[in-house]
Structure 1
Amino acid sequence: MRGRPPACRDPDRGQDERHTLDAALACHSTPTELDFWEEVADTYAVGYGGQAPTARLAELADDVIALRTLLARPQTTTDRTRLCRTVGQLSGMAAIVLHDLGETREARGWFHSARMAAGESGARQLVAWLYAREAMTPLTYGVPRDAVRLADRALLAAGDSPSAAAALAAAVSARAHAVTGNREAARAALARTQEIADRLDSASTADTWLGLPEQKLHLSHAHTRLGATAQARAAQDRALQLSGPNSYQARALMRMDAALCDHHAGDKAQGCRRAVDAPIELPTDQRTGLVRSRAADLLRHIPASRTGERTVTDLRDLLRT
């Protein structure tokens, strides 16, 4: 006759192992927990909401640590898929804040971790969104060719269906090509951006970090770098109209684009004044690497013969603080 399971030969040991099993089963994430964390991700997706980037980053990091604990528990396939998707979203948002702060190396690391989680969840559009958002890091901080490469990966991951990720990737590609002086590729990417954006549904154009409203395409940047001043001014005005009063950085970036337009139009003094005023009008805790990088970009365009002028000196002093 077959013997009983080893755990049952000793009643006390059998009871201990049953309690261990009960504890392990209790370690599964519950639907209520998963619902909670998905709601947390939706809350973060609204953006800074007037909060300082460093404070937002601290909150995101704490919550990612909590989710890491959940990931270590045994999960059903369905629950792990949901959990990995949420981890991908929160990690991606932490990477966005690091990008805005100018912490490029850390940002790239968090984007990588976010894509690993998103890939495990099977969320293809989330993977595309992460590639597109990461492409903004080399674009902002002086490596536009890397931005094109990442934007291409985002478009490949997004597939043929219109999505916020695909539209953002095309827009970043347009801006990066404009920065490198590839006018033909920039114009083609601008056309592709508009074609995708025109097909987006209301959920895709929500004013969140996961959505892409018109003002966050930042097409004025591409038009500005192409020297299409009239189109750039129109895009800036439209973006400012659509941006809320708490969209501090978005509004500052539009003013930076306006400053570069002044430069292209020949009014370099006015351009410098705008560039100095834009970060000064920001709350102190919002004067991040993102805004400063645009000011530095303008400064690089100032000819050597004018570097001693007062407005140029003011701009240079601003970047030193």
Structure 2
Amino acid sequence: MFDLDEDVLFSKKKASHEDDEMERRRLLQTLATLGITSSPIFDSLQTIRDSVGQSLGRDERLDVEMWEETVAEYGYSYLLTPPQQLLREVAADLVAVKQAMSRTGSRDRLFRPWCRVTGGLSFLMAKTLCNLGQSRQARPWWATALDAAELSGDPNLSMWIRGEQLIHGLYDRRPTPVLLRHADAALDGYASSAYRGIVDISGVRAQLLALHGRPAEAAAELHRCGEIFEKLPGSVAGDVHSIEGWGADRLGYTQAWVYAYLGDRDQLDQAVSQTHRALGQSDPRPRFRVQLALLQAIGYVRSGDVTEGVRHAQAVYEAYPVEHRTTMVTRLADDVLEAVPAAERRGSSVAGYRELLASPVDRRAIT
């Protein structure tokens, strides 16, 4: 009635300064375990900065805007930074955001923007853990990201997270029927929306149908994916350099994936060429290009050209730096070998590729 905060009305115990400091030390110790150290000099400077900001009456909205920009910048660095390094950077930023957000109540005007930042960072943590082969450890981060996105009131972020979770589930080899059920549920009621996540979900649904041996349905879903793509805002469809974008490169990659697993070499080569045109000569994303090349190798093997497919895959994978071999890269490399018919697995070229994949280098470890 009097617009009192629930905590005030029911006199719930508030965390003391000592409690806040204890949690701060615990979080810093956790970061140290990850190899992230905090300099006393920078901690002192941060204390001074906070004090000066309070004296100036600093608008905390500026802090939120700074972190929103940081999340946006991760959209670019994610494509280039080794996941082991990205893991540490995102972890440190999550701690910083947690500390900044601790002063915000659920009715504060900045609560939803802070939730959006937290959702974005948690989403990046989940993706990075999946890239390191730690899909089980990523599960609670996916849940945290979705919770934060829902609290932020941003349906575009929520659908994007759901779509990316399905994509990583595909590469983590979760059961296809389970992922299809989740995709159908996510699309229910949103299929005609121009959210960035909807085109993700439609694309992964086409991939799942191809993997499940339903080519006609996969082709129909690809067509729907293209229609959704045409409805995307120019800021999304025209961005091929950030994970926040979903441009013609992503559409071409999705088509290449479907045709590769269906063994349709002609359509695959056409989709790969289309993707390279969308990327342009100056695109700096080697990981994306490696995945595209491995898809091409899978399609060649599935279409019957085992020698060319394996040769192509070995040349690409062998030259790619170990620290950039994310789960998506290694899964596609493994799928080339798995596509080779049993009768042809004893050939010298296949044996050499098998030895490369079985090398003692830990391809997915967090170091």
Give me the TM-score of the superposition, normalised by structure 2: 0.76
Give the alignment partner of residue 269 of structure 2, picking from 233, 240, 256. Answer: 233
Residues 79 and 287, structure 2, Cα contact 8 Å, conserved in 1: no
Q: List aligned pairs for 1:41-52, cutoff 5 A.
A: 41-48=71-78, 50-52=80-82
Partner of 1:54: 84
Residues 91 and 113, structure 1, Cα contact 8 Å, conserved in 2: yes
Q: Does 1:116 align with 2:139?
A: no
Cα deviation, 1:182-215, whole Å, max 9, x if unaligned, reads 2232122111101101121211222321221121
Return the letter of the residue paired with 2:97.
L
Give me the TM-score of the superposition, normalised by structure 1: 0.86
Residues 67 and 87, structure 1, Cα contact 8 Å, conserved in 2: yes
Secondary structure class of the residue paired with 1:210: coil
Residues 95 and 111, structure 1, Cα contact 8 Å, conserved in 2: yes
RMSD: 2.1
Residues 262 and 302, structure 2, Cα contact 8 Å, conserved in 1: no
Return the letter of the residue paired with 1:294.
L
Residues 131 and 328, structure 2, Cα contact 8 Å, conserved in 1: yes
| Aligned-pair CA distance for 1:80 | 0.6
| Aligned-pair CA distance for 1:158 | 4.3
Partner of 2:314: 276
Partner of 2:103: 73
Secondary structure class of the residue paired with 1:78: coil
Q: List aligned pairs for 1:142-157, cutoff 5 A.
A: 142-143=173-174, 144-156=176-188
Secondary structure class of the residue paired with 1:308: coil
Q: Does 1:131 align with 2:167?
A: no
Partner of 1:4: none
Give the alignment partner of residue 304 of structure 2, picking from 244, 263, 266. Answer: 266
Partner of 2:24: none
Distance 1:179 1:91, change over 3 A: same
Residues 136 and 147, structure 1, Cα contact 8 Å, conserved in 2: no
Give, in whole Å, the separation in 2 of the partners of 1:307 and 1:291.
21
Partner of 2:335: 297
Long gaps (5+) in structure 1: 1-22
Give, in whole Å, the separation in 1 of the partners of 2:319 and 2:343.
29
Distance 1:214 1:147, change over 3 A: farther
Residues 125 and 157, structure 1, Cα contact 8 Å, conserved in 2: no
Long gaps (5+) in structure 2: 1-50, 360-367
| Aligned-pair CA distance for 1:303 | 1.6
Cα deviation, 1:62-108, whole Å, max 9, x if unaligned, reads 11121122332233532010000111111112222222222211223
Distance 1:122 1:159, change over 3 A: farther
Partner of 1:213: 247
Paired residues in the alignment total 297
Secondary structure class of the residue paired with 1:161: coil
Q: List aligned pairs for 1:77-226, cutoff 5 A.
A: 77-143=108-174, 144-156=176-188, 158=190, 160-205=192-237, 206-207=239-240, 208-217=242-251, 218=253, 219-226=255-262
Give, in whole Å, the separation in 2 of the partners of 1:147 and 1:248.
28
Cα deviation, 1:1-23, whole Å, max 9, x if unaligned, reads xxxxxxxxxxxxxxxxxxxxxx9
Partner of 1:36: 66
Misfit runs of 4+, over 6 Å: 26-29
Residues 220 and 235, structure 1, Cα contact 8 Å, conserved in 2: yes
Return the letter of the residue paired with 1:132.
G
Secondary structure class of the residue paired with 2:234: coil
Cα deviation, 1:12-58, whole Å, max 9, x if unaligned, reads xxxxxxxxxxx9xx699701111110110111112435321211121
Distance 1:65 1:35, change over 3 A: same
Return the letter of the residue paired with 2:147.
M
Give, in whole Å, the separation in 2 of the partners of 1:131 and 1:93.
13
Residues 38 and 86, structure 1, Cα contact 8 Å, conserved in 2: yes
Return the letter of the residue paired with 1:239.
T
Give, in whole Å, the separation in 2 of the partners of 1:157 and 1:248.
36
| Aligned-pair CA distance for 1:252 | 0.7
